[in-house]
Amino acid sequence: MILIVGASGVLGGRIANLLLDAGKPVRALGRTPAKLEALRARGAEVVQGDLRDRASLDRACAGVRQVLTTAAAFETRQMAQVDGQGNRNLVDAARAAGVAHFVFTSAHAARADSPVDFFRAKFAAEEYLRASGVPWTVLRPAAFMERWGETIGGAIAGKGIATILGSGENPINFVSVEDVARVAVQVLDDPDAPGRSVPIGGPENLSMEEVARIYERVLGVTAKRKRAPLPVMRILGAVTAPVSPVLSRMMRAGVMMDTTDQTLGPSETLRRYPIQPTRMEDWVRAHHAAPSAPRASA
């Protein structure tokens, strides 16, 4: 049995579906089981649980061979309780249940000295898992193109506006959720995965300006730029911290994206876990048809 924590989310849901496609037994944990009905209909066992509730995790881990978690609370005030104590609760529950392999979804940006509390929490959770004695694998994906591409270019279609954080010139690696999910299911099948950190990047490092230009090219429009200047993000990141930790975190993440190395080169990962990596332009084309593009007749 494979327990997926975060199965109601974008990545966790995709991984659960790929496992079900392959006929694997899946237990999907969610705070709101109603969100997991589609997975239940496909044969998953659904359990109610919360990373902040250790007893619910003990129940969820019973009889489980592998745990994979994608859960995170980046955009909530409970981030520390979920990504900090919550992840530690899950590791402890997995150890108590004798789980054979724990796969933790971290991030390429996770590090001990990150300016963003969320990425420090991710790194601390990695360290906790590595020291736990439970056989572990850490997935370290780059920025998701679904999330960031749409942040930058999603409003080009309707409003003709591209959103650029900072200079928009810093190269960033973008990976598609589908590709991360395809690597994750191979990791679960790999007897040599325990003890490995697995960087998962897309095929290109692109600046936000380059992403905006991809959307413009695909949609056949020229977009205005809505800019969040670096000094504004820096000031907002500092002054909003006591009153709005979520806004503060977003601003600091924006600064981090524009001012630190966000690139990822070709890695060992693709040799070990072969996938056909998705290019940003192909993803945008697949999800946004140009309004003026001629349609093929039936």
Ligand X SMILES: NC(=O)c1ccc[n+]([C@@H]2O[C@H](COP(=O)([O-])OP(=O)(O)OC[C@H]3O[C@@H](n4cnc5c(N)ncnc54)[C@H](OP(=O)(O)O)[C@@H]3O)[C@@H](O)[C@H]2O)c1
Binding site for ligand X (CB under 6 A): 5-6, 8-12, 30-32, 35, 50-52, 70-74, 82, 86, 105, 107, 141, 143-144, 147-148
In the bound complex, what is the minimum distance in angstroms from residue 221's beta carbon to ligand X?
25
In the bound complex, what is the minimum distance in angstroms from residue 217's beta carbon to ligand X?
23
Q: Which is nearer to ligand X, 179 or 218 (CB)?
A: 179
Q: Which is nearer to ligand X, 78 or 221 (CB)?
A: 78
**Token representation of residue 233:** 């993000």
Q: How far is 27 from 259, CA to CA, in rounded Å?
A: 40
189-205 burial code (b ≥16 CB/10 A, e <16): eeeebeeeebbbbbbbb
Q: Which is nearer to ligand X, 55 or 239 (CB)?
A: 55
In the bound complex, what is the minimum distance in angstroms from residue 5's beta carbon to ligand X?
6
Of the candidates 46, 70, 35, the one whose C-alpha atom is nearest the C-alpha of residue 184 is: 70
DSSP state of 137: E
Q: Which is nearer to ligand X, 12 or 168 (CB)?
A: 12
**Token representation of residue 232:** 């504004």
Q: Give the residue nearest to ligand X (CB).
A: 9
* Chain position carrying tokens 């084309």: 285
Q: Which is nearer to ligand X, 74 or 123 (CB)?
A: 74
In the bound complex, what is the minimum distance in angstroms from residue 178's beta carbon to ligand X?
12
In the bound complex, what is the minimum distance in angstroms from residue 107's beta carbon to ligand X?
4
Cβ atoms of residues 14 and 38 within 8 Å: no
Rounded to the nearest angstrom, the gap between the alpha carbon of residue 272 and the centroid of all alpha carbons in its chain is 21
**Token representation of residue 89:** 């609760």
